[in-house]
Amino acid sequence: ETGVTQSPTHLIKTRGQQVTLRCSSQSGHNTVSWYQQALGQGPQFIFQYYREEENGRGNFPPRFSGLQFPNYSSELNVNALELDDSALYLCASRGGAGEHEQYFGPGTRLTVT
Amino acid sequence: GEDVEQSLFLSVREGDSSVINCTYTDSSSTYLYWYKQEPGAGLQLLTYIFSNMDMKQDQRLTVLLNKKDKHLSLRIADTQTGDSAIYFCAEGSGGNQGGKLIFGQGTELSVKP
């Protein structure tokens, strides 16, 4: 039990739609990262938020965006969904710059049809 | 560029030791991690090692790091059927960008009774 929760567990969307995925971090963890894990692959870093600002981004287009809130919750938004966006989306939290243990939530399985 | 590679499959007998290997390319990596993922679940942090260490032992787990060859291994002693899962190694730079981890493709460990 990592203390990181995500919702929903599963989601089915149609190509072109928009989706919002949610994550609740451990209390006191002010850094949250989002990852995309395609079937049979390792997780790919999307971006990181620290104290409600994005401070690192992987190789993902701008239609992937995020928000982090003061209550340790965060969102991943994906616009104009494409079939290749079908994946497990994982959020991970850690305590801050001096903390190196990163804890993952159970993920949201997104299917785009 | 940043890259992490792992062999895809490993099969062992219950009670034997398992050794999962990983190579990475980023010489600036500060922390190296091992995560476990069971079917349909998120990632569980097993252990990590700081790049100035050669070895770390944690109960049945032993991590060996050869920084010169950029080679990391995870040894699981007395492997049990419950250890069957996919194991990911990951590298990270720590600090403010510590949320960005680069993962390998994962090694599927199968433990036969």
Sequential pLDDT tens for chain B (113 residues):
568 999 999 999 999 999 999 999 887 778 899 999 998 888 999 999 998 899 999 999 999 999 999 999 999 999 999 999 999 999 987 666 566 899 999 999 999 99
The DSSP annotation for B26-79 comes to -TT--EEEEEEE-TT--EEEEEEEETT-SEEEETTEEEEEETTTTEEEEEESS-
Residue B55 sits at φ, ψ, to 5 deg, of -150, 150
Half-sphere exposure of B99 (CA within 13 A, CB side): 29
Which has the closest alpha carbon to B24: B67, B55, B56, B64?
Answer: B67
**Nearest by CB: A45 against B35, B45, B100:** B100
Q: CA of A104 to nearest chain B CA: how many angstroms apart?
A: 6
Q: CA of A57 to nearest chain B CA: how many angstroms apart?
A: 8
Residue count of chain A: 113
Joined together, the tokens standing for residue A55 give 């401070």
**Nearest by CB: A42 against B50, B88, B97:** B88
Band (A29; pLDDT cuts 50, 70, 90):
confident
For B:26-65, CB contacts with A below 8 A are 30-31, 33, 35, 41-45, 48, 50
CB B25, CB B2: distance < 8 Å: yes
